[in-house]
Amino acid sequence: MTRTKGRTPAQGRGLAVAALLTAALLACHRAVPNSPGRLGSLLEAFLPWLGLVIVVLFAWALLRRSVLALVALLLPVAAWTYLFAGLWLPGPDARPGDLTVVQHNVSDENADPAGTARALAADRPDLIALEELLPAALPAYEQALAAAYPYHAVQGTVGLWSRHPLTGVRPVDIKPREITESWSRGLRAEVRTPHGVVAAYVAHLPSVRIGVRGFASAWRDESARLLGRAIADEEQSAVVLLGDLNGTVDDRGLAPLTSRLNVAERGFALSFPAAFPVARIDQVMARAGTVGHIRTLPATGSDHLPVAARISWA
């Protein structure tokens, strides 16, 4: 008996097993242990990219003409569609009272802070949150934004510019215990919008690294817990969080935030690195409000892309 060229039962079974494993990682990513090396967080940081694995497996299954593999691929396709397909849908129409916001890590190596500020203000959002503000560059941002944004607050290396009055400005302590030097990356302010008071938080969580020991995110995770506690204690019902959180909304390290706040319902808005974005680590989240759609803005002089979103309040 002869077999069709290029097709073997063993190859079909192998492809089917790979498809089932991909489906399991998508559907049960929370079950992947975070020790050693925080592998669970590493998987979740790039979870949408398992869609490329599905495409490769599908092409291979077609090449091998494996019906078994093609049928098995229905499972990861269904899992990916359930998790991410809704992000492709258009966002809801704007409503009166919506708050438009821009979030951007402007980079401490940005050579054109004034041009960056003008680009961020082009669509006239209500709020602009910035991270990696250096003292030398701060006057350029203040001057470029002063006319349209008469209210602003800066704490350490993070800042908030607003079209509406700001009150109750204070730092938010999100510094991990092991950091001993001066380190201020969180602020809180009340935004007095025409439709009510909103507590706005701006934060820049510590960076993560991928190395031989795995995904180094301990400082980021500790900082997220501190920020989550501050937001849990917030007395204002309406809250918006803007920041470079150095993690995706699927990453369990941000669970202290994503468990308390709503994340964007539409849009991928991959923001980092700017040259070839692979993940959205710049986030807009809200309490008592819906982040209907999030999108990226054109590149500036930063290694991040800015993200913009519209928040609708209940």
pLDDT of residue 30 exceeding 90, the answer is yes
* 257 and 246 Cβ atoms separated by less than 8 Å: no
Q: Is the pLDDT of residue 2 over 80?
A: no
For 307, other C-beta atoms within 10 Å of its C-beta total 27
Contact 242, 202 (CB under 8 A): yes
For residues 33-55, average pLDDT: 93
The mean pLDDT value for 80-103 works out to 88
Q: What are residue 2's DSSP bridge partners?
A: none
Residue keyed to tokens 């129409």? 93
pLDDT at 208: 94
CATH of domain 99-313: 3.60.10.10
Residue 241 has pLDDT above 60, yes or no: yes
Strand, coil or helix: what is 37? coil
Per residue in 258-270, pLDDT (tens digit) is 999 999 989 999 9
Cβ burial 120-142 (10 Å sphere, 16+ → b, else e): bbeeebbbbbbbbbeeebbebbb
pLDDT digit string, tens, across residues 136-172 = 999 999 999 999 999 999 999 999 999 999 999 999 9
The DSSP line for 26-63 is HHTGGGS--TTTTHHHHHHHTGGGHHHHHHHHHHHHHH
Tell me: pLDDT of 1 over 50.
no
Which residue has tokens 């089917």? Answer: 16
Encoding tokens for residue 86? 């809704």
Q: What is the pLDDT of residues 101-117, one digit of tens each?
A: 999 999 999 999 999 99
pLDDT, mean over the chain: 94
How far is Cα 159 from Cα 55, in angstroms, rounded to an integer? 42
pLDDT at 6: 52
Q: Per-residue pLDDT for 214 more than 90? A: no
Considering only 86-90, 223-227, 235-239, which range has the smallest mean pLDDT?
86-90
What tokens appear for 205 in the block? 């969580």
In the block, tokens 């994503």 appear at 258
- Structure token pair of residue 105: 């890590």
pLDDT at 5: 53
- More confident call, 97 vs 30: 30
What pLDDT score was predicted for residue 202?
Answer: 98
How is the chain split into domains, by residue range? 9-85, 99-313
Tell me the pTM. Answer: 0.92
